[in-house]
Every structure is written in C-alpha cells, then in structure tokens.
Structure 1
Amino acid sequence: MSTPRTLTLPEGVRPASLETDRGTFATLQARPDVGTPLGTVLLVPGWTGSKEDFTPLVDHLARYGWIAVAVDQRGQYETPGPADATAYTLAEFGADVVAMSKALGGYSQLVGHSFGGLVAREAVLTDPSVFSTITLMCSGPGGFSDEAKRQGLQMLAFGLDNLPIEQVYDLKLDHDSKEPQYVAPAEDVAAFLRKRFTGNVPASLAEITRRLIDADDRTEQLAKTGVRAQVMYGETDDGWPLAVQDAMADILGVQPQMIADAGHSPAIDQPAATARMLVEFFHDR
C-alpha cells in the first residue's frame, strides 16, 4: 500500500471524471502550462492503491510537457464497480484501460504500478495499437511465489468475502502496525488511508488480491506485441523480488532501471527522479 506524504494537491493537479465506453473513472489530471502537450501518460495504480499514489508524479510529468492522468480502477476508491466478483478479472481491468486510452486519444504512454503493472500488461495484450509504451513500475511477471505473501493475501481475500470491509481494514492495520518497519502516518493521512481502503467495492479488492496469487506470467506474449517496454523499481522495493523483475526485463529485452532511495512506491518516494526516468524513456526512440 502506498502512503501519500500529503493530501494537498499541487497547483495544476485536479480531480476529473474520465468518460469511456466502459464507464466513468475517477482521475487526477494535470496539463502543461504552456506549449503543445507532448502526449498523454496514463497511470494505473496497484493493490489497495488509488490515483493519489501518483499525485506528485502527475505534477512533475506535466512540468515536462505531458498530459498526466492517474486513475482509480473499477471498484477502486472513487470509481464505482459492480458487486459481482466476475467483473474483476484481469481481462476486464485490461479492457477498461484500453477504453481509457482511447478516450484520451490513444497512443498513451502507459504506466502500471505493482498490481497495476499486471493490468497494464493485459491492456497492451488486448489492444497494443492504442499504447506507445508500457512501463512496469515495481511490478512482476505474475502472481507472487513467496508462500508467506500468498498466505497473507489468501487471508485478506477470505476476510473481504466474510467480514465488513471496515473490520478487515482494522485487522490489517493492527497487523501492519506491529511490523518493525511500520511508521505511523500523519493523522489526516491515516484517515485518508482508512477512507480509501473502505471505499473499495469489497468484491473488487478481494479479486485484485486473488490476482496477486494466481495471475499467469505473460511476459513472453508482451514481448511480442512490439510496444516498447520499461522495467523500473525502487532500490528497496519489497514487492516482487528484484531478481524476478530483472528476469522479466531480460525477457522483454530491456535493462531494468533502479530508482535510488525509493521503495515500492517511487512515485511518492522520489517523484522527480521517477518522472525524469519516465520521460527519458518516452523520448528514447
């Protein structure tokens, strides 16, 4: 889970609804102040995340001349979704992202963070013609193989199926707060984290959780699409092992890129460095 440092939106970053032929999605957007935009960057968040995970990055990308659009996926925080679990397959999530890119004019630079990387990959496999590039940020080739992670995810999904989502959040917070690396956020950020988690459609969050267990490795198929790919991660990323991400990059035929002094959320930890690494990739033909 990404934890914002502040809830104050930078000047120029604004909430907006994105209308597509697959529904309406909540977004945070920013446009460059001057000149013709260089294109559009579409940012897809991960498990228990939201568009707010990209807030500082949206601002930096706009300063580089790009239209930046961070989204809440279906059933995630401020985007509604059905209660039916079958609506939350990777195929459905991927089709949504294709529709988003088309609504934004197509040819998006697509960035997927963590679980959002699995969705971004699915979107490119669904219709590579509407994406210029794909960046897999702190993401992996498929579901987690680490047994401890898998067991924790299974327990969370079971809780979401059987308990009020507010109770699941409180249980998760109690567990997380006992971890040695836990740092209590500011009071307003803590309130936001609870509001965001409990704002999810329970079926959506439960199925996203399961996809982190059972998602297939489709890296080889992605490599064949012809869409230019980037693999990047924080120096201390604790999601997929860095060796696993390096192997994924090798299959894609690219060199993985590491962001110093960043963990699993480089868009929050090091937004300026992350933006610079992204735009250099966008311009590297």
Structure 2
Amino acid sequence: MSTPRTLTLPDGVHPATLETDRGSFATLMAVPKYGTPLGTALLVPGWTGSKEDFTPLVDHLCRYGWRTVAVDQRGQYETPGPTERSAYTLEEFGADVVAMSKALGGYSQLVGHSFGGLVAREAVLTDPSVFSTITLLCTGPAAFTDEQKVQGLQMLAFGLDNLPIEQVYDLKLEHDSKVPGYVPPPDEIAAFLRKRFTSNNPAGLAEITRRLMDSEDKTDRLAKSGVRIQVAYGASDDGWPITVQADVAERLGIQAQIIPDAGHSPAIEQPAATARLLVDFFHDQTFID
C-alpha cells in the first residue's frame, strides 16, 4: 500500500470511468492539453492500493505528452467486484487489464506496481499484442517467501474471511502503529486510507492477499513475450528483496533501474524521477514517421 501525501488532484487529473467489455473501472486520467498524445500509459496498483497511488505520476507523465490512466482493479476501492473468490485469480485480473488496454486503443505502455506487476505480467502473457512495453515497478517474480511477511498475509486473509472488513482494518492499523518508526499520517489522509481499505470487496482483497502467497514465477515466459520490459525499484524498497528484483532483471536480459531516495512507493516518493525513468523507456519504443 502507498500512502498519498495529498488528496488534492493536480490540474488536468480527473476521475473517469473506463468502460470495457469486462466491465467498468474507476480511473484517474489525464490527457495533454495540446497536441496529439504520444500514446497511453496504463498504471496498475498493488495490494491494498488504488489509482491514488499514482496521482502525482499521472500528472508528470501527462506533462511529458502521454495520456495517462491509473486504475482501480476489480474489487479495489471504487471499482466494484464480484463476491465469488474464483473471480480473483491472476488470469481474471490479467484479462481485465487486456480489456482496459483495448478500450484505450491498444499499444499501452503498461506499468504494474507491486502486486500490480504480477497482474501486468499476466496481462502481457494473455495478449502481448495490445501492449508496447511493460514496467515491473517494485515487484517480484512470484509469491513472497519471507516467513514474517507470509505470516502477516495469512493473518490478514483469515481476518477478511471471518471478520467485518472494518474490524480487520482496525486490527491492521493497531499492528502497524507498533512498528518502529511508524509515523501516523495527517487526519485527512488517515481517513482516506481507512475508507479505501474498507471499500475493497472483502473476498477480493482476501484473494489478492493469497495471490501474494501462491503466485508462481513466470519470468521466463515473460522474456519470450516479445514485449519490451523494464524493471525498476526504489533504492530502499522493502517489498520483495532488492536482490530478488535485480535477479529478475538479469534473467530478462536487462539492467534493473534504481530510483534514488525512494522505497516501495516511488510514484509518490519520487514522482518526477520515476516519470523521467518511464518516459525515457517509453520513447525508446516510440517511432515517428
């Protein structure tokens, strides 16, 4: 989860509903004011996150000339989701992202953050023809293996299965507040974080949590997709180990790119540097007749 620093949307960034043949998705969207957009950047958030995790990045990418769309995935925050657990497999999430790209005209520059990176990878494996590039941002090759992280995920999934989601959030907040170095956010941000978490479809969030414990490594398949790939992460990312993310890049035959002075949420912590890293990568694939 990323914690926004402000809830005020930059000028030109606005909420919009993206209609696809797999349903409607809540988005934050920005379109350049002048000229024809260079293309479309499609941003997919991670576990317990939302489109708001990308708000400053949406603004920066748009200023570089890209139509930029950050989404809530099925069951996340402001996008409704089914109640059936079977609706929250990686295959279903990936098919949604394919449908989003098609609805936006195809050839998207796809960016997946954290769990969203697993979804983005699945989307490319489902239909590589509708993506120009994929960026794996602060994401790993498969499920977490760290015992402490896995235990925390198991507890959360169990809670979501058996308790009201509001109670689960309160228990999570109580746990997080005891972590050394925890700094409570301002009241407005704290209220948003609670609203966002409790607006998730409980079955969907429980299954997303399980995907972080059972997802398989598909790096070798991604390498054969034909879609150009970028791996990037914050210099102090505390999600998947940095050595694991660097190994993914090596297996893909590319150099991992590190965002200085950022942790697991570079789109919020260093949006300008993250945008520059992305657009440099996008433009390598942009051909003008």
TMscore range, shorter length: over 0.9
| 1:118-197 matches, cutoff 5 A | 118-197=118-197
Q: Separation in 2 of the partners of 1:182 and 1:109?
A: 35
- For residue 101 of structure 1, what is the aligned residue in structure 2? 101
Q: Separation in 1 of the partners of 2:173 and 2:50?
A: 18
Query: Taking every aligned residue pair, what percent have the same amino acid on both sides?
Result: 79
Equivalent position SS for 1:68: strand
- For residue 240 of structure 2, what is the aligned residue in structure 1? 240
Letter of the structure 2 residue corresponding to residue 233 of structure 1? Y
- For residue 30 of structure 2, what is the aligned residue in structure 1? 30
Q: Separation in 2 of the partners of 1:282 and 1:85?
A: 36
Equivalent position SS for 2:278: helix
- For residue 202 of structure 2, what is the aligned residue in structure 1? 202
Q: Separation in 2 of the partners of 1:265 and 1:126?
A: 27
Q: Separation in 2 of the partners of 1:150 and 1:225?
A: 30
Q: Separation in 1 of the partners of 2:247 and 2:13?
A: 36
Equivalent position SS for 1:60: helix
TM-score normalised by structure 2 residue count:
0.98
Describe the superposition over 1:220-262 as per-residue Cα deviations: whole angstroms up to 9, x where unpaired: 0000001000000001100000000000001111100000000
Q: Separation in 2 of the partners of 1:185 and 1:82?
A: 31
For the pair 1:260 / 2:260, whether they are aligned, the reply is yes
Q: 5+ residue gaps in structure 2?
A: none
Describe the superposition over 1:17-51 as per-residue Cα deviations: whole angstroms up to 9, x where unpaired: 00000000000000111111000000000000000
The count of residues paired between Structure 1 and Structure 2 equals: 285
Q: Separation in 1 of the partners of 2:54 and 2:157?
A: 25
After the TM superposition, which segments of 4 or more aligned residues of structure 1 sit over 2 Å from their partners?
none
Q: Separation in 1 of the partners of 2:112 and 2:90?
A: 13
Letter of the structure 2 residue corresponding to residue 126 of structure 1? T
Q: Separation in 1 of the partners of 2:29 and 2:269?
A: 20
TM-score normalised by structure 1 residue count:
0.99
- For residue 279 of structure 1, what is the aligned residue in structure 2? 279
Describe the superposition over 1:67-108 as per-residue Cα deviations: whole angstroms up to 9, x where unpaired: 000000000000001111000000000000000000000000
- For residue 20 of structure 1, what is the aligned residue in structure 2? 20
Q: 5+ residue gaps in structure 1?
A: none
Q: Separation in 2 of the partners of 1:31 and 1:101?
A: 16
